[in-house]
Amino acid sequence: MSMQKLIRPAKFAGGKRPSFAAAYAKAVNRYQFSAGIFPSFAWKDHAVVRVLQVDDIDHGTKVDADSIEDDMEYLVPVTIGTPGVVLNLNFDTGSSDLWMWSTQTRNASRAQIAQHSVYDPAKSSTDAAVAGSWSITFGDGSSAKGTLRSDTVTIGDIVVKGQTIQLATEVSRQFLNDTETDGLLGLAFPKLNTARPKQAATPMVNMMKQNLLATPVFTCALGRNEEPGFYSFGYIDPNVTPNRLTYVPVNSSRGWWQVPSTSYSINGKVVERPGNTCILDTGTTLTLVDDTVLSHIYGAIPGAVFDHNEGGWKYPVDAAIPELSFAVGDKLYKINPKDMSYAEPFNGFYFGGFQSRGDMDMDIFGDSFLKAVYAVFNQGENTVGLAQRDD
């Protein structure tokens, strides 16, 4: 399918509401690349099963993750500077930048700046200059760029000193129109960081370097709409689910949390996908898989059709949803039927939370998958552990 068709603007009538088109465009824009750029590699280890456990919570913290616009994204309060200003940041396992609105965002109007919490380096006693700059450009032309500073970053009870932060001096129209998000905190591996001439360490890497964590992990339990969700750093919460964590090795050669996903099942029938991999990405709303998989999924939903105008699959609001599972490593994880749809119904149809990955040679397991699991990202061992949350 044409990837250009996927970045049409939303056509919903009325006021502001969650938009399938916006969610899909968000995914397309961040993964605009040709197939085949990833090197081949072998997964040498089989999945390892470990019991959920709590490490020393005195060396860890938990922070709330609030759903915005029907789970379009999740925002976490982070304090920057001394005295600190609290910014609502999107925690993103698909990127490695820590960038934010600031008093240096020159192309924003006063009214636009007033809609955000912004960082002012002149008001922080722990601020310091860092030589260099940063710049991000996405496939649809949206962009942000700016300068580098260093300051104290506080996430929950963890205080990271001397963290390089990226101040936006200019943001494109797409970011100017976003009134909810004050910036982004990347949790992928540092090689994705866009700071130049020297890439910046992520907050997670600095937590490890500064011995702020009992164990080098962060975890993610995303909620649905008003349900509570959270991230934790340094420990694993045993109260999320009674199910056991299954760990798989990560290929971090390109900076992502990339893991094998070699099968899926529909109504108990398993389909093998030899060699397939996926990226676990909290910064992508939808889950993107290949078109053959999609034809099987939506072929099992009565009345499902591909909407050529909006560029995605949709199905009737009263349709029966099949039992769907996707593998990470050797284990299948069941998708909650609630996450089969994204956004509110329109003209009697839901748009699906699972859509095409286009010409990419890997899947993107975004929030519509991750809401069904408790995810443990172990940056010390390059592994990811998942436990089923919804039985």
Residue 107 lies in a domain: yes
Residue 207 identity (one-letter amino acid): M
Average pLDDT, the chain: 86
Question: Is 372 in contact with 365 (CB distance < 8 Å)?
Answer: no
Where does a domain end: 166, 196, 214?
Answer: 214
Residue 206 lies in a domain: yes
Confidence of residue 140 (pLDDT cuts 50, 70, 90): low
CATH number where 352 lies: 2.40.70.10
Residue 92 lies in a domain: yes
Q: What is the pLDDT of residue 338?
A: 92
Whether residue 248 is found in the same domain as residue 384: yes
| 268-279 pLDDT per residue, tens | 999 999 999 999
Whether residue 270 is found in the same domain as residue 205: no
Residue 368 identity (one-letter amino acid): S
The residues near 292 (Cβ < 8 Å, ≥ 6 apart) are none
- What single-letter DSSP state applies at residue 46? -
Whether residue 309 is found in the same domain as residue 359: yes
Whether residue 245 is found in the same domain as residue 382: yes
Where does a domain end: 214, 249, 277?
Answer: 214
| 19-35 pLDDT per residue, tens | 676 676 666 666 653 32
Higher pLDDT, 140 or 170: 170
Residue 225 lies in a domain: no
Number of domains in the chain: 2
Which contacts qualify for 134-138: CB closer than 8 Å, 24 or more apart?
134/97, 134/99, 134/166, 134/193, 134/194, 134/195, 134/196, 135/194, 135/196, 136/97, 136/99, 136/194, 138/29, 138/30, 138/32
Whether residue 88 is found in the same domain as residue 205: yes
| 194-231 pLDDT per residue, tens | 999 999 999 999 999 999 999 999 999 999 988 999 99
On the question of pLDDT at 11 being above 50, the answer is no
Whether residue 384 is found in the same domain as residue 285: yes
Q: What is the pLDDT of residue 135?
A: 94
pTM: 0.87
Residue 185 lies in a domain: yes
Question: Is 277 in contact with 261 (CB distance < 8 Å)?
Answer: yes
Burial grade of 160 (CB within 10 A; 0-12, 13-18, 19 or more) = buried
Residue 86 identity (one-letter amino acid): V
Whether residue 104 is found in the same domain as residue 14: no
Domain interval for residue 296: 3-49+241-388
* Annotation marks residue 92 as catalytic: yes
Per DSSP, the chain holds a count of helices (H) and strands (E) of: 6, 28
CA–CA dist 245, 322 (Å, integer): 25
Whether residue 190 is found in the same domain as residue 320: no
Residue 149 lies in a domain: yes
Higher pLDDT, 65 or 33: 65
Confidence of residue 109 (pLDDT cuts 50, 70, 90): confident
Q: Classify 170 in phi/psi space as left (phi over 0), alpha (psi -120 to 50) or beta.
A: beta
CA–CA dist 231, 202 (Å, integer): 16
* Annotation marks residue 151 as catalytic: no
Q: Which of 178, 281, 363, 367 is catalytic?
A: 281
Whether residue 296 is found in the same domain as residue 357: yes
Pairing relation of β-strands 230-233 and 217-221? Answer: antiparallel
Residue 314 lies in a domain: yes
Where does a domain end: 167, 197, 214?
Answer: 214
Residue 229 lies in a domain: no
Whether residue 30 is found in the same domain as residue 87: no
On the question of pLDDT at 123 being above 70, the answer is yes
Higher pLDDT, 381 or 55: 381
pLDDT above 90 as % of the chain: 72
Q: Which of 161, 179, 196, 211 is nearest to 69 (CA)?
A: 179
Q: Which of 92, 97, 237, 367 is catalytic?
A: 92
Whether residue 14 is found in the same domain as residue 144: no
Question: Is 103 in contact with 119 (CB distance < 8 Å)?
Answer: yes
Whether residue 286 is found in the same domain as residue 343: yes
